[in-house]
Structure 1
Amino acid sequence: MPDLHIVSMADAPRVAEAVAALLQELDPTGHRTATTLFPVVTETLSLQSVTGILATDEKGTAGLVMLNDCAAIYAGGRFGEITELWIRPDLRSQGLASRMLHKVREIGATRGWHRIEVGAPNRATWARTLAFYQREGFAEVGPRLRCLL
């Protein structure tokens, strides 16, 4: 089973590769690569409000989850947001994502989070992903909207 550790700046290349793989799965027409994402990864990892958990094994990067510390009145104060969660395809449905979410919950408990939120991808295309989160105790609360600046 892959080892888990908190991401450090030394892990930036692995984080960039994992996020590039995730984005490629979500949008195969996109042109984001580990190289183009690397500057954003290093900037993001330098923020105190961002935490990552990296899973590694003998083949390299096995999984990644990235978290943000957030706060909102509706959420009762502090909460966490999962911004990226990716598992290498050959390791899916083997319990790694559940292990990583367990670690996320531990981090949240130590930080006084009242909840953890995640934006799920399109229901029709990613039904297995939605079902996974629901099995892990997440409940649907509606769509997420964005406004690009």
Structure 2
Amino acid sequence: MQISLESPAQPDVVALIDALDAYQKPLYPPESHHGIDVAALSAPNVLFAVARDGQGRAVGCGAIVVGTEFGELKRMFVRPESRGQGIAAQLLGFLENEAKARGCLTFMLETGPSQPEAIAFYARSGYEHRGPFGGYGPDPFSVFMEKPAA
């Protein structure tokens, strides 16, 4: 498997993002969807990584929006058929290292309570629960977590 920073504006990567949206949209009301689109993922302050299998297929993606106070993890997704191989952990580690190299000292994320596997994964990866951050407000459909850069 290969993980690298890539443009999100590629057909196979857009298909990953579409698969993530198809999974998440039925779980939460529209006002509780906080995903960002391909244009926002292409901004200069966004680190967007793609995991590709041995045949070059995009099997996972994720991003960190690097801000002045923290980096926000966005759009983490691994195709269901590729899960259980440690891809998410490698992708997360890659993104965190890239963000740290750019001076990011804290990582934040927002996910939802209907995704207990994601919450457990982030907890195993060192993220702890916290209150809303940035432009988020309290939302019963949001779980907020943070991790200091090591």
Counterpart of 2:52, as a letter, is T
Taking structure 2 as the reference length, what is the TM-score of the superposition?
A: 0.74
Which residue of structure 2 lines up, in the alignment, with residue 35 of structure 1? none
Q: Summarize the alignment of residues 37-116 of structure 1 with structure 2, pairs less than 5 Å apart.
A: 40-41=37-38, 43-57=39-53, 58=55, 60-71=57-68, 77=69, 79-116=70-107
Equivalenced residues, count: 126
The 3 A distance-change label for structure 1 pair 13 and 136 is: same
**1:119 correspondence with 2:110:** yes
Which residue of structure 2 lines up, in the alignment, with residue 3 of structure 1? 2
The 3 A distance-change label for structure 1 pair 29 and 104 is: closer
From 136, 140, 144, the counterpart of 2:125:
136
Structure showing greater Rg: 1
Provide structure 2 residue ranges, at least 5 long, that are not aligned to the other structure: 29-36, 139-150
CA RMSD of aligned residues (A): 2.2
Taking structure 1 as the reference length, what is the TM-score of the superposition?
A: 0.74
Q: CA deviation at 1:5?
A: 1.2
Tell me the distance in 1 between the aligned counterparts of 2:101 and 2:13.
24
Provide structure 1 residue ranges, at least 5 long, that are not aligned to the other structure: 31-39, 72-76
Counterpart of 1:23, as a letter, is D
